[in-house]
Amino acid sequence: MENLIALLVAAPLLGAAVLLVGGRRLDRAGHWLGTLLAAASFVIGLVLFASLLGKDAEHRTLVQHLWTWVPVESFRADVAFRLDQLSVTFVLLITGVGTLIHLYSVGYMAHDERRRRFFGYLNLFLAAMLILVLADNYLLLYVGWEGVGLASYLLIGFWQHKPSAATAAKKAFLVNRVGDIGLSIAIMLMFTTFGTFAFGPVLTSAGDASEGRLTAIALMLLLAACGKSAQVPLQSWLGDAMEGPTPVSALIHAATMVTAGVYLIVRSAAIFNGAPDAQVAVTVVGAVTLLFGAIVGCAKDDIKKALAGSTMSQIGYMVLAAGLGPIGYVFAIMHLVTHGFFKAGLFLGAGSVMHGMNDEVDMRKFGGLRKYMPVTFVTFGLGYLAIIGFPFLSGFYSKDAIIEAAFAKGGTQGWILGSVTLLGAAITAFYMTRVMLMTFFGERRWQPDADGHDPHPHESPTTMTIPMIVLAIGSVGAGFFFHLGDRFVHWLEPVTGHSEGDSPVGVSVITAATLVCLVVGVGIAWAMYGRRAVPAVAPRGSLLTRAARRDLLQDDFNHVVLVRGGEHLTRSLVYVDHTLVDGVVNGTAAGFGGMSGRLRRVQNGFVRSYAVSMFGGAALLVAATLLMRAV
């Protein structure tokens, strides 16, 4: 069975090559070819998953070695794939949700002249992400990591004729390069510490390394995760990435790019377990980002940017859980998978709304759309209920498990983290209810666009609604399925490990507190947006609201500290170069030039000058001789 692993990557990689090189002859059928190859990869993933189920828990690891990439003495890099419980979970999420997004894109991009190229980029995105999660060593993972960065750049900037899209693509690419530096340094440290960067030897030998070295490696891995998963302080690219087509947003937020950082931390569990200070840093990053994204989501009127803030916050939950160690690794991945269902459904629902509203994204110009788009309303509504943790839907099981794990950390840290996760749950219920009310309830508020076209809301075509329905089913039932008999915990435990922790608060009390937070968040949103008419123009709001509309001033901070700071540093270096370096060089040259000019006057070719020089020299010699005798 291990011989099939490479086919997981080969199918979408073939699609990308054919669609990007094949030319216009594939314009009519290229989108179906890309979708078919994504689906083929999903089917292969199901076959491999079934084969793992037939093995004992301790023997569910398959490795396929393809070739030796770099054989240089002790430096050996192999192109080899590793399929185990963790990687196959990501494979099914990436290819399953990815295939649904491909199908959705057939309808969404139907009138785009460059649709074939778009599907080629989608296939490339899947292939790169599959390399990342299937790699058997960190160097090959880095190849997939960079491939994901390239594909995201191409897709975010797909409509590069819009300056905002081109700028957003460059921003995402550059911010992620900062995180990539962290991953490259971590790989170098691994090689100098363990003599290899293969998962098996590195993770097995992690306990033998010093805590300081493990902390350094773990912090660099965290920096990498912050870039790909849009965590503080490298979160500024995610909101701007909404400039890409909506299927791209769904793919990035649900199944590919932002999940990569969580995968990296959980895959490197043995390293983080030996670096408690780094684990604290992970939980702090997750907790801060959890609240950061939630607050930003509360103030956005752009439906996609509100969902982007939500993604940032939900990934913060996962990163926080991963920082809890064996208490939270499993639940970080569980929430990642359930989030893949409901967040993909929410983004595709947002795209469906835009499709029926002449690409309008301002929720203040929606209202009452449930009457015109019933399928979109129901599927989006189920995703909304799942993400806020409505009882017995997917988010109720996965997010509540993270809240319980946070309290189970124990001590002051457990109380702080637990309180943060509860506060995040309340804010999530608020901003998602706000999105739901402003979009589907109340009176119609839409107006003719800039060209005078009056929107005519209508349901999306079947190719778009079928993926939304499938994802809604996952939003409803996936969490219960995973929770039943703790099957998800038992599935991942051999790879990630698991411990129950020691919670000072009972599970029933935490569940009750979570439901209270949910009701409070929904109630406040209903009082503000359900009982009142939504104004066409956003009121000025409080200082916090105005800051949240500007992403809590993250771009302003980057501009002042990094851009302006970089400009001042550059000017300082230029000044030092011109005054000190050039001054020394030019001064030395001028000194020798002046000296040469003066010496040149002595050798002027006039006999009388030479005679005077000889006479002067003789006179000096005579005077010196007489002086010596007198002494």
Cβ count within 10 A of residue 551: 25
Helix, strand, coil share of the chain (percent; to 5): 75, 5, 20
For residues 585-612, average pLDDT: 80
Q: How far apart are CA 397 and CA 121, in angstroms?
A: 34
Q: Which two tokens stand for residue 209?
A: 């390394």
pLDDT band at 61 (very low <50, low <70, confident <90, very high): very high
pLDDT band at 611 (very low <50, low <70, confident <90, very high): confident
Q: What's the pTM? A: 0.91
Helix, strand, or coil here: 362? Answer: strand
Q: What is the pLDDT of residue 9?
A: 98
Distances (CA, A) of 579 to 556, 563, 566, 585, 592: 32, 24, 20, 10, 19
Q: What is the pLDDT of residue 503?
A: 84
Where residue 302 falls (left for φ over 0; alpha for ψ -120 to 50; beta otherwise) is beta
- Lowest average pLDDT, out of 238-242, 245-249, 604-608, goes to 604-608
Q: Are 330 and 496 in contact (CB under 8 A)?
A: yes
Q: How far apart are CA 626 and CA 239, in angstroms?
A: 93
Where residue 71 falls (left for φ over 0; alpha for ψ -120 to 50; beta otherwise) is beta
For residues 231-250, average pLDDT: 95
Helix, strand, or coil here: 588? Answer: helix
| pLDDT above 90: residue 48 | yes
Q: Are 95 and 130 in contact (CB under 8 A)?
A: yes
> Angle formed by the axes of helices 276-299 and 411-440, to 10°?
20
* pLDDT tens track for 151-174: 999 999 999 999 999 999 999 999
Q: What is the pLDDT of residue 630?
A: 78
| pLDDT above 70: residue 222 | yes
**Percentage of the chain with pLDDT > 70?**
99
| pLDDT above 80: residue 250 | yes
Q: Which two tokens stand for residue 461?
A: 């075509």
Q: Which two tokens stand for residue 198?
A: 């293969």
Residue with tokens 């003719």: 448
* pLDDT tens track for 65-75: 999 988 888 78
Q: Which helix (H) or strand (E) holds 65?
A: strand 62-72
Residue with tokens 């396929």: 64
Helix, strand, or coil here: 136? Answer: coil
Which is nearest to 242 in space by CA: 333, 335, 169?
A: 169
* Contacts of residue 80, Cβ cutoff 8 Å, sequence gap at least 6: 63, 64, 65, 66, 135, 136, 137, 140
Q: How far apart are CA 123 and CA 118, in angstroms?
A: 9
Q: How far apart are CA 339 and CA 394, in angstroms?
A: 8
Q: How far apart are CA 336 and CA 266, in angstroms?
A: 12
* pLDDT tens track for 114-156: 999 999 999 999 999 999 999 999 999 999 999 999 999 999 9
**DSSP β-bridge partners for residue 83:** 62
pLDDT band at 631 (very low <50, low <70, confident <90, very high): low
Q: Which two tokens stand for residue 355?
A: 């499709």
Residue with tokens 């490259």: 184
The helices-and-strands tally (H runs, E runs) of the chain is 26, 2
Q: Are 247 and 240 in contact (CB under 8 A)?
A: no
Residue with tokens 């196959």: 88
Q: Are 424 and 291 in contact (CB under 8 A)?
A: yes
* pLDDT tens track for 312-366: 999 999 999 999 999 999 999 999 999 999 999 999 999 999 999 989 999 999 9
For residues 410-435, average pLDDT: 96
Query: Strand 62-72 vs strand 75-83: parallel, antiparallel, or unpaired?
Result: antiparallel
Peptide bond into 326 cis (omega under 30): no
Cβ count within 10 A of residue 417: 27
* pLDDT tens track for 460-481: 999 999 999 999 999 999 999 9
The dihedral built from the CA positions of residue 300, 305, 306 and 309, taken in this order, carries a sign that is negative
pLDDT band at 616 (very low <50, low <70, confident <90, very high): confident
Which is nearest to 133 in space by CA: 12, 268, 218, 260?
A: 260
Q: How far apart are CA 67 and CA 80, in angstroms?
A: 7
Phi, psi of 70 (to 5 degrees): -130, 95
Q: How far apart are CA 320 and CA 317, in angstroms?
A: 5
Which is nearest to 401 in space by CA: 324, 495, 286?
A: 324
What are the residue ranges of helices labelled H in 235-371? Answer: 237-240, 246-254, 260-267, 269-273, 276-299, 303-323, 329-356
Q: Which helix (H) or strand (E) holds 83?
A: strand 75-83
Q: Which two tokens stand for residue 33?
A: 């070819």
Helix, strand, or coil here: 445? Answer: coil
Q: How far apart are CA 560 and CA 567, in angstroms?
A: 10
Average pLDDT, the chain: 93
Q: What is the pLDDT of residue 227?
A: 96
Give me the DSSP letters along 474-490.
HHHHHHHHHHGGGHHHH
* pLDDT tens track for 505-561: 899 999 999 999 999 999 999 999 999 889 988 898 889 999 999 999 998 888 888
pLDDT band at 293 (very low <50, low <70, confident <90, very high): very high
Q: How far apart are CA 45 and CA 6, in angstroms?
A: 11
